[in-house]
Amino acid sequence: MEVIGWAGTALVIIAYYPQIHHLLVERCAWGLSISTWVIWLIASTLLLIHCILRRDYLFMIVQSINLIAIAITIIAARKSNNLCPYHLTVARTAAGQ
């Protein structure tokens, strides 16, 4: 059963990679809602406290990873000042250019 938990933890790590890579490499935060990510940051903090109080080590690790990845996402998004070629095309198409 513990294998399922670790597989889920691995997927949490993998799931953040495309977004963080896009933010750090392309410096593009197109379509990203900072408000949503701040809510997730607060939720992950509360869930981490819950895990600590229950001494649930697997979920402590997952929530710690979530907190770090969410914080990196928010910081990188706030520093983003570029549109990648793909999102530039999407933005121009939406603007009718």
Instruction: In angstroms, give the least distance from the CB of 61 to Zn ion.
Output: 30
Non-local (6+) Cβ contacts of 32 within 8 A are 19, 23, 73, 77
**Interface with Zn ion (CB under 5 A):** 28, 30, 84, 87
Is the CB of 12 or the CB of 87 nearer to Zn ion? 87
Residue 41 CA to residue 74 CA, distance in Å, equals: 9
Instruction: In angstroms, give the least distance from the CB of 94 to Zn ion.
Output: 13
Closest residue to Zn ion, Cβ-based? 28
Residue 5 CA to residue 2 CA, distance in Å, equals: 5
Instruction: In angstroms, give the least distance from the CB of 93 to Zn ion.
Output: 14
Is the CB of 54 or the CB of 89 nearer to Zn ion? 89
Is the CB of 75 or the CB of 88 nearer to Zn ion? 88
Residue 95 CA to residue 78 CA, distance in Å, equals: 23
